[in-house]
Amino acid sequence: MSTIQDVARLAGVSVATVSRVLNNSPSVTAETKDLVNETIKKLNYQPNLLGRNLRRSQTKMILVLLPNISNPFYAGIVKGIEDVAHKNGYNVMLCNTDSDVSRERIYMDLLRNRLSDGVIFMAPEVNKEELTEIGKLYPVVQCCEYKEGASVSHVSIDNFSAAYKATRHLIGLGHKRIGFLGCQNTFISTIQRENGYKKALADHDIPFDQTLVKYGDYGFTSGVRAGKQFMAMKERPTALFAISDMMAIGAIKSAKEEGLRIPEDLAVVGFDNISFAAMYDPMLTTISQPKYDLGCAAMDLVLRRIRGELDQPEDLFLEHEFIIRESTVK
């Protein structure tokens, strides 16, 4: 394997000159640059980019911490993050945390040890105080989920408003027994979506009924399980709002197995507009998050912080869209 010394020897220049060429220094003449680059090509020399970047205190690597890497919702967001990263000469490392705070801290050690230039949290588990301290020292951004009160930039949507619209849509169709399928965790989106559901009921004089609330884990199987629980009720709901598309689809499967028609016997609204939502039968009414734009915005915030262009945390809320399909309106 060729070394930088081999390149310098064959080109007849100093090692320092080769280094300046590799770093695009303006102090090297065009003729010398061409000579060194031709020699590099001839020897198939591969510079140690990690070592060079570390000397510059840069790795050109951004960590993206995901609570569940198998969740299809994150695909569009990661695409946005990667596109902006690559346009700016950065790479992305995806890290699955399983919502485990100890694993988050292990990944944060990569940042502290200068093996990464910044971090994007999809759903931070560390508390707001610890997150604020990390954010003071390193480029850190929260995407989708965020800790209220943490002094760290975030980009998200208005989950309360989105859930309110979804529930109001079902009320507008004449439904009064509206089931809610949520999750039991501390994610801000989970809390806001349940609150939006409750507020819509209250604003339309529909009493809140705790028996119409079931919980899952965002996944298809938990949606099937909750759907069976709803179907077993003496007075089952005539409509259902689920805070994830996968749970909504699972609930629809349970309803179909009981011989119910969608939406005539049970109207269902999901959340996220994953690719399956428009492929399922019936096509799923859902809240569409601007996934790609969320990823682009998060990466842009990280880069601005790295460049010193972001002195104070920014809170960005992007627009969502309510998409009406066959699962609520035939």
pLDDT digits (tens, 9 = 90+) for 72-92: 889 999 999 999 999 999 999
What pLDDT does residue 18 have?
85
What's the whole-model pTM score? 0.80
Kind of pairing between the strands at 267-272 and 285-288: parallel
Can you tell me whether residue 327 is helix, strand or coil? coil
Who contacts 29 (Cβ-Cβ below 8 Å, separation ≥6)?
A: none
Q: What DSSP state is assigned to residue 199?
A: H
pLDDT digits (tens, 9 = 90+) for 152-184: 999 999 999 999 999 999 999 999 999 999 999
What pLDDT does residue 52 have?
54
The CATH number of domain 4-47 is 1.10.3470.10: no
- Closest to 299 in 3D by CA, of 83, 137, 23: 83
Backbone angles phi, psi at 89, to 5 degrees: 80, 20
CA atoms within 13 A on the CB side of 95: 29
As beta bridge partners, residue 321 has: 288
What pLDDT does residue 50 have?
52
CA atoms of 30 and 16, how far apart (whole Å): 16
Q: Which CATH class is domain 61-157+291-319?
A: alpha beta
Region of 313 please: left (phi>0), alpha (psi -120 to 50) or beta.
beta
The CATH number of domain 159-288 is 1.10.10.10: no
Q: In the chain, what are the domain boundaries?
A: 4-47, 61-157+291-319, 159-288
Rounded to whole angstroms, what are the CA distances from 202 to 39, 196, 197? 74, 10, 9
Cβ neighbours, 10 Å, residue 195: 14
Positions of the chain with pLDDT under 70? 48-57
What pLDDT does residue 69 have?
87
Q: Is there a common fold for 61-157+291-319 and 159-288?
A: yes
CA atoms of 7 and 36, how far apart (whole Å): 7
Kind of pairing between the strands at 213-216 and 153-156: unpaired
CA atoms of 248 and 235, how far apart (whole Å): 20
Residue with tokens 């050690």: 109
